[in-house]
Amino acid sequence: MFGPKTHCIVVVGAQWGDEGKGKLVDVLAEQADYVVRYQGGANAGHTVCIGDAQFILQQIPSGILHDRCTCVVGNGVVLDPETFFQELDGLAAKGVKTAGRIFVSDRAHLVLPYHKLLDKAHEKSQNIGTTGRGIGPTYEDKFGRRGVRVGDLRHLDSTKAVLSERVARANKLLAMMGGTEVASEEQHHALLDRLAPRLLPLAFDTGRQVFQALREGRRVLLEGAQGAMLDVDHGTYPFVTSSNTTSGGAATGAGIGPTAIDEVLGVVKAYTTRVGNGPLPTQADPETEEELRKLGGEFGAVTGRPRRCGWFDATVVRYSVRVNGLTGLAVTKLDVLDTFAEVPVGTDYLLDGQPCDDLPADVQSLERVNPRYETLPGWRRPTTGARRMADLPPEARAYLDRLEDLSGAPIRYVSVGTRRDQIIEV
Binding footprint of ligand GDP on the chain (CB under 6 A): 13, 18-23, 44-47, 49, 297, 301, 332-333, 335-336, 415-418
CB nearer ligand GDP, residue 112 or residue 323: 323
Catalytic residue from among 7, 18, 109, 348: 18
CB nearer ligand GDP, residue 305 or residue 322: 305
- Single-letter residue type at 170: A
CB nearer ligand GDP, residue 323 or residue 423: 423
Name the residue among 119, 128, 231, 249 with its Cα closest to residue 173.
119
266 contacts 295 by C-beta, under 8 angstroms: no
**Number of residues in the chain:** 426
* DSSP code at position 133: S
Is 46 a catalytic site residue? yes
CB nearer ligand GDP, residue 12 or residue 72: 12
Q: How far is CA 51 from each of CA 48, 54, 273, 418, 420, rounded to the nearest angstrom?
A: 10, 8, 26, 10, 8
Residue 144: CB minimum distance to ligand GDP, A: 28
* DSSP code at position 65: G
Helix, coil or strand: residue 81: helix
Strand partners, 13: 227, 267
Helix, coil or strand: residue 412: strand
For residue 116, report the phi and psi dihedrals to the nearest 5 degrees: -70, -40
For residue 204, report the phi and psi dihedrals to the nearest 5 degrees: -145, 170
Is 122 a catalytic site residue? no
Residue 104: CB minimum distance to ligand GDP, A: 20
Catalytic residue from among 26, 33, 46, 106: 46
CB nearer ligand GDP, residue 19 or residue 106: 19
360 contacts 366 by C-beta, under 8 angstroms: yes
- Residue 331 is inside which H or E element, if any? strand 328-332
Residue 25: CB minimum distance to ligand GDP, A: 8
Name the residue among 333, 330, 328, 251 with its Cα closest to residue 24.
330
Residue 277: CB minimum distance to ligand GDP, A: 18
Residue 418: CB minimum distance to ligand GDP, A: 4
CB nearer ligand GDP, residue 335 or residue 348: 335
305 contacts 277 by C-beta, under 8 angstroms: no
Residue 39: CB minimum distance to ligand GDP, A: 13
Catalytic residues: 18, 46
